[in-house]
């Protein structure tokens, strides 16, 4: 592969953050300690640890954490010898107060995440992260749902606030390879900072899309061991690393150790196999935020509906991350409509 960048590739493992959605936010200190130690020993660059919806996400609406995320961040930082601990922050869910506390406990990278059209709400948090001496990246979620020109406009805002990089975030796992290519290329040609890519595997394109992103110049990439992430999971870390190695790209991460921890450490944690089932496929097909799946399945049981119908309707309404309360509203409306039709 001929990369369109001379900067080194840096990898962020997200199974302890994005995977929190699958775990219903029930990670224990031991699970985090064991996973972080194994990832650190394998040579992982960054390990993201926080509630699935980022700092401050432990609420009734998003899901209560079994263990306070600050304790998990502290545990993770204490378990690392070389990897750096990252956190996610969604303005409106997390605040600068949680950011300051996470920093004190050892987090050194924050990804400030907003909907792809709402980068203006990230200014305060990006400024604070820089003041705290943290590495800070913008994270434009649901990147499939806006024109490329809008994506570039919003990325430039994050750059102007002090972000050191901006991610194209395929939150729904809905982007096709040519769409990834045009988005990464557009940011590379428009920004003076790094470009990253975060994929979900709902259409079975996560590895392919990540390779396209790397080829177009992305220098920050994400993955989740055993696909432990929302929906059908993220780019499977150990698989992507093996593919990159086959292509002559040494990430400095021990592939055998990654295979072992995927099998022996993460595998036993999985509540069920991470594969593309009808629910996660519907996410990618409808272009809906991946963390909505469990909420839609619960609403389907409550209202006697097919969760796919709920997800398709959410896609039609352009629902965005943070609108989990809309899922119940949509389900109630669909159930009422169904009764009227009968």
In a domain, 121, yes or no: yes
**18 labelled as ligand-binding?**
yes
Do 319 and 241 lie in one domain? The reply is no
187: how many CB neighbours lie within 10 A of its CB? 29
Check residue 62 and give its pLDDT.
Answer: 86
Do 239 and 153 lie in one domain? The reply is yes
Is residue 104's pLDDT more than 70?
Answer: yes
Is residue 83's pLDDT more than 90?
Answer: yes
**200 labelled as ligand-binding?**
yes
In a domain, 55, yes or no: yes
- Furthest-apart CA pair in the chain: how many Å? 62
| Per-residue pLDDT reduced to its tens digit, 272-297 | 888 899 989 999 998 988 888 888 99
With bands split at pLDDT 50, 70 and 90, how would you rate the model's confidence at 6? confident
Is residue 237's pLDDT more than 90?
Answer: yes
Q: CA 255 to CA 244: how far, in whole Å?
A: 11
15: how many CB neighbours lie within 10 A of its CB? 33
CATH code for the domain in which residue 215 is found: 3.20.20.70
User: Helical H runs in the chain?
Assistant: 19-22, 29-42, 69-79, 96-104, 123-131, 148-161, 177-190, 206-215, 237-246, 255-261, 278-286, 292-303, 307-316, 324-341
Lowest mean pLDDT among 79-93, 179-193, 194-208, 303-317: 303-317
Do 263 and 300 lie in one domain? The reply is no
**79 labelled as ligand-binding?**
no
Closest CA to 230 of 288, 298, 300, 305: 288
Question: CA distances (Å), 71 to each of 67, 79, 99, in order?
Answer: 7, 12, 14
Is residue 231's pLDDT more than 60?
Answer: yes
Closest CA to 16 of 97, 81, 91, 83: 83
Mean pLDDT computed over every residue of the chain: 94
Is residue 112's pLDDT more than 90?
Answer: yes
CATH code for the domain in which residue 300 is found: 1.10.8.60
Do 305 and 199 lie in one domain? The reply is no
Query: What domain range is 323 assigned to?
Result: 291-341
Report the pLDDT averaged over residues 83-93: 97
Residue 105 φ/ψ, nearest 5 degrees: -85, -5
**245 labelled as ligand-binding?**
no
Check residue 56 and give its pLDDT.
Answer: 96
Domain boundary residue, one of 219, 235, 268: 268
Is position 21 annotated as part of the catalytic site?
yes
Check residue 254 and give its pLDDT.
Answer: 98
Question: CA distances (Å), 312 to each of 21, 279, 289, 318, in order?
Answer: 20, 11, 11, 10
Do 146 and 177 lie in one domain? The reply is yes
**289 labelled as ligand-binding?**
yes
Do 34 and 86 lie in one domain? The reply is yes
Do 32 and 124 lie in one domain? The reply is yes
End-to-end CA distance of the chain: 57
Sign of CA dihedral 59, 97, 321, 53: negative
In a domain, 1, yes or no: no
**17 labelled as ligand-binding?**
yes
Tokens of 251: 């990430």
Check residue 293 and give its pLDDT.
Answer: 87
In a domain, 111, yes or no: yes
Q: CA 66 to CA 78: how far, in whole Å?
A: 20
Report the pLDDT averaged over residues 88-113: 97
Question: CA distances (Å), 144 to each of 223, 289, 315, 328, in order?
Answer: 19, 11, 12, 24
Q: CA 283 to CA 289: how far, in whole Å?
A: 7
Residue 59 φ/ψ, nearest 5 degrees: -140, 170
Is residue 48's pLDDT more than 90?
Answer: yes
61 vs 93, more confident:
93
Lowest mean pLDDT among 86-95, 151-160, 331-340: 331-340
Q: CA 149 to CA 182: how far, in whole Å?
A: 11
Q: CA-based angle 124:153:206, to the nearest 5? A: 95
Do 225 and 140 lie in one domain? The reply is yes
Per DSSP, the three-state class of 84 is strand
With bands split at pLDDT 50, 70 and 90, how would you rate the model's confidence at 342? low
Report the pLDDT averaged over residues 14-42: 97
Closest CA to 314 of 304, 302, 301, 324: 324
Check residue 98 and give its pLDDT.
Answer: 97
Residue 195 φ/ψ, nearest 5 degrees: -120, 135
Do 321 and 229 lie in one domain? The reply is no
Question: CA distances (Å), 14 to each of 115, 192, 216, in order?
Answer: 19, 26, 22
Structural domain tally of the chain?
Answer: 2
Do 253 and 322 lie in one domain? The reply is no
Check residue 171 and give its pLDDT.
Answer: 94
DSSP string, 8-45: PPEEEE-TTTTHHHHTTT---HHHHHHHHHHHHHHT-S
Check residue 7 and give its pLDDT.
Answer: 87
Do 188 and 221 lie in one domain? The reply is yes
In a domain, 279, yes or no: no
Do 303 and 175 lie in one domain? The reply is no
Per DSSP, the three-state class of 266 is helix
Check residue 325 and give its pLDDT.
Answer: 80
Tell me the percentage of the chain whose pLDDT exceeds 90: 86
């Amino acid at each position: 592969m001929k990369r369109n960048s001379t900067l080194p590739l840096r990898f962020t493992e997200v199974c302890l953050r994005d995977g929190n959605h699958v775990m219903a936010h029930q990670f224990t200190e031991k699970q985090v300690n064991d996973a972080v130690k194994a990832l650190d020993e394998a040579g992982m660059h960054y390990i993201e640890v926080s509630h699935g919806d980022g700092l401050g996400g432990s609420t009734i609406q998003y899901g209560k954490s079994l263990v306070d995320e600050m304790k998990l961040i502290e545990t993770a930082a204490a378990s690392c010898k070389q990897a750096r601990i990252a956190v996610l922050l969604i303005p409106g869910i997390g605040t600068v107060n949680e950011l300051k506390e996470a920093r004190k406990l050892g987090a050194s990278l924050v990804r400030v995440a907003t909907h792809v059209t709402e980068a203006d709400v990230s200014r305060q948090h990006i400024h604070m992260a820089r003041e705290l001496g943290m590495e800070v990246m913008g994270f434009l979620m649901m990147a499939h749902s806006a024109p490329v020109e809008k994506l570039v406009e919003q990325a430039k805002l994050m750059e102007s606030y002090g972000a050191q990089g901006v991610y194209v975030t395929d939150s729904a796992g809905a982007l096709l390879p040519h769409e990834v290519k045009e988005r990464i290329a557009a940011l590379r040609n428009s920004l003076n900072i790094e470009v990253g890519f975060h994929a979900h595997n709902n259409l079975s394109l996560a590895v392919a899309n990540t390779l396209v992103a790397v080829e177009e110049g992305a220098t920050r990439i994400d993955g989740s061991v055993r696909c432990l992430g929302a929906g059908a999971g993220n780019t499977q870390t150990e698989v992507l690393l093996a593919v990159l190695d086959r292509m002559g790209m040494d990430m400095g991460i021990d592939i055998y150790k990654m295979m072992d921890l995927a099998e022996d450490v993460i595998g036993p944690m999985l509540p069920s196999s991470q594969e593309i089932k009808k629910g996660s496929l519907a996410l990618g097909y409808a272009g809906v935020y991946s963390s909505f799946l469990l909420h839609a399945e619960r609403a389907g049981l409550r209202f006697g509906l097919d969760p796919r119908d709920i997800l398709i309707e959410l896609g039609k309404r352009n629902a965005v991350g943070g609108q989990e309360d809309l899922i119940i509203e949509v389900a109630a409306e669909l159930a009422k409509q169904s009764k009227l039709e009968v």
